[in-house]
Structure 1
Amino acid sequence: MAYLATALQSFFTDYVHTQRNLSDNTIASYRDTWRLLIKHVCATTVTSADQIRLEDIDRDMITAFLDHLSNERANTAATRNARLIAIRVLFAHILPDHPEHAETIRRILTIPPAKTAKPMISYLSEDETDALLAAPDTTTWTGRRDQMMLALTVNTGLRISELIGLATTSIHTGTSPYIECEGKGRKHRATPISAMTRDQMLDYLTERNSRPGTALFPGPRGNALSRDAIERRLATHVRTATEPCPSIGAKHVTMHTLRHTTAMNLLHAGVDITVIALWLGHEQTSTTDIYLHADMETKNAALEKTRPPEVAPGTYAPDPGILIWLEAL
């Protein structure tokens, strides 16, 4: 008889840390998934958490749990699929040690993910970016910190987790300035920054180094700002930027929107998509293809190349006379 608790302890103390060296965010996601699943099992059966056996969790139980996430917790298909991945990883790990449960585990591993619709990405135009960067009150330390944080994100396209992990030593301000960070999956990468951002960063560091802690963008006690704190600060500045630039108020702007903005700026500058993938830390260029799909400028430029020489450039517009004719039908 094998208990789930024993498998979970081995999984989280040895496998995810020592063997896989997974990131803290991934481990937290796996942990939260199993907490939810265990609570679901306890709520739908008479079994206590410590007494759940591996054979108690079969394909039907997992399917019911996934339905619970979608129907009762209103989770998106993407969240549901992330939970399914966390469940699969554990069962794939324990399969060699529990051949007696091989058939049950095999059926769990074949549960298909839910189909997801890929939404069009949101990014900021040049005017919207300028309005956002001008929004923080730079007469205060908090405003100067926020302005530097937003400017660096737009320049580099860092993920919010990468931004949180930055220290004052992460910035290199020599003749070829760049920033070092630990990317997704604990991958170390370096991203160049512009001369303008470097000069602004030098002024910022002079003030930042007089304050406690080593986080590049600290809170009141010197510790790095949390994910929620950064998003709240961004939301505050978006509201301020809406007054001079109303179009930004119509968009759902998050820190990941600024990452998308970086990619689109690079694409509009003519940077090859493979270089953009390296810049953003994508393992596969297919991940970066979403920017090609969202960029109407690139599509219109491609369309213009197919225009016959005798056709006037620009978007087609019918003769006004035909509109009058159609209205008279």
Structure 2
Amino acid sequence: MRGVPQTGNGSQCLSAGTQRNLSDNTIASYRDTWRLLIKHVCTTTTTRADQIRLENIDRDMVTAFLDHLSNERANTAATRNARLTAIRVLYAHILPDHPEHAETIRRILTIPPAKIAKPMISYLNEDETDALLAAPDTSTWTGRRDQMMLALTVNTGLRISELIGLATTSIHTGNSPYIECEGKGRKHRATPISAKTRDQMRAYLNERTARPGSALFPGPRGNALSRDAIERRLATHVRTATKPCPSLSSKYVTMHTLRHTTAMNLLHAGVDITVIALWLGHEQTSTTDIYLHADMKTKNAALEKTRPPEVAPGTYTADPGILTWFEAL
């Protein structure tokens, strides 16, 4: 992009991402956004990619690009907002060095994100969790690996990217067992594991040492399983678990569902929401508030506290005779 030194088709954006210590996935998202935006500019104008100047991408152009994503590429509001964030990152990064474009940049930075209706989160209850953990065939190495991977995820609530990054040295199985991982934004954190998971992990690690590579959950060649491979393994085990636990058939289960399950288990155990936020690696407790909204047990308990003393506890059930009275009106 001309008019911005050392840009190189979005390298300024990648540089900004690196300076902000963002994850590789986030930086890749920024790169893809600018690739799509530059292609859009070339398609809708007569400007070649190597001739694009900063002033060619103004608020109107960015807005048209976002509309293109929503209307022609059928992107969701969340994807649209992620693309807008990537655009804002670059412009906020170059603003101090280009005051002559301050007004153009200011107008782009004030583009509002699309409103997103937050769906209720999905998580597994105790019976569904037990059925899923019992689904892998533990008579095989692959089954034992998958069972350990699922059990660890339910125990710790790790993101799938954090799970992929685990090495055999990430697990500490002493008297106070815990796991170390690198979370979003390359933030390092340690999460405790239960004694049951620790004992299972010790047996797993003894078997794991006979296999190549250092990834905690390796594929056939010793490399860490990919995101797609993990989700495929999970889908296979969900199908198996659905037979003894039919309620799973009504749920779309991903690895992030297991993360939600961890949070809900902690919430039901009475753990404070701020501790849950630390456990999951959330930077702000507002991110963790979704579990409060999803937890009907907590809401019902709060409602029960407002019950007048003379009212019997429990859910109100109308007198059957009242229905006859209504029908007679």
Normalising by structure 2, what TM-score?
0.93
SS at match of 2:196: helix
Deviation at 1:232, TM superposition (A): 0.9
Distance in 2 (CA, whole Å) between partners of 1:254 and 1:169 is 26
CA deviation vs aligned residue, 1:45-82 (integer Å, no higher than 9, x gap) = 12222221111111111000000111111111111111
Give the distance between the partners of 1:327 and 1:40, measured in 2 at CA: 64
Partner deviation per Cα, 1:224-283 (whole Å, 9 max, x = no partner): 111111111111111111111111110111111100000000011111111111111111
Shifted more, 253-262 versus 47-56: the winner is 47-56
| Runs of at least 5 residues in structure 1 that lack an aligned partner in the other structure | 1-17
Q: Secondary structure at the match of 2:122?
A: coil
Once residues 66 and 25 of structure 1 are traced to their aligned partners in structure 2, the CA distance between those partners, rounded to angstroms, is 21
Residue 107 of structure 1 deviates from its aligned partner by: 1.1
String of CA shifts for 1:62-103, please: whole Å, max 9, x gaps: 000000111111111111111001000101111122222222
Farther off after superposition, 90-99 or 128-137? 90-99
Distance 1:249 1:19 in 2: 44
Pairwise CA RMSD:
1.0
Query: Residue by residue, what CA displacement relative to the aligned partner does 1:190-219 show, whole Å, maximum 9, x if unpaired?
Result: 000000000000111111111000000111
Task: Give the structure 1 partner of residue 8 of structure 2.
Answer: none
1:56-75 to structure 2, matched below 5 A, reads 56-75=56-75
Q: Percent identity?
A: 91
Answer whether contact 2:135 2:237 (CA < 8 A) is retained. Answer: yes
- In 2, Cα distance between equivalents of 1:259 and 1:77: 23
Post-superposition shift, 1:134? 0.7
SS of 1:189 mapped into structure 2? strand
Number of aligned positions between the proteins: 312
Partner SS state of residue 163, structure 1: helix
Alignment check: 8 A CA contact 2:22 2:184 kept: no
User: How far apart are 1:19 and its partner, in Å?
Assistant: 2.7
Deviation at 1:309, TM superposition (A): 2.4
With the length of structure 1 as denominator, give the TM-score of the two structures: 0.93
Distance in 1 between the 2:324 and 2:231 partners? 51
In 2, Cα distance between the equivalents of 1:116 and 1:326?
42
Distance (Å, rounded) in 1 between the aligned partners of 2:268 and 2:290: 14
Distance 2:75 2:277 in 1: 29
**More displaced, 176-185 or 47-56?**
47-56
CA offsets per residue over residues 106-149 of structure 1, 9 Å max, x none?
Answer: 11111111111111111000000001111111111111111100
Tell me the distance in 2 between the aligned counterparts of 1:82 and 1:296: 31
Q: Distance in 2 between matches of 1:291 and 1:182?
A: 23
Contact in 1 for aligned 2:122/2:260 (Cα 8 Å): yes
* Alpha-carbon distance between aligned partners in 1 of 2:321 and 2:189, rounded to the nearest angstrom: 59
Q: Distance in 2 between matches of 1:266 and 1:204?
A: 25
Name the residue aligned to 2:25: 25
Structure 2, gaps ≥5 residues long:
1-17
SS, match of residue 181 in structure 1: strand
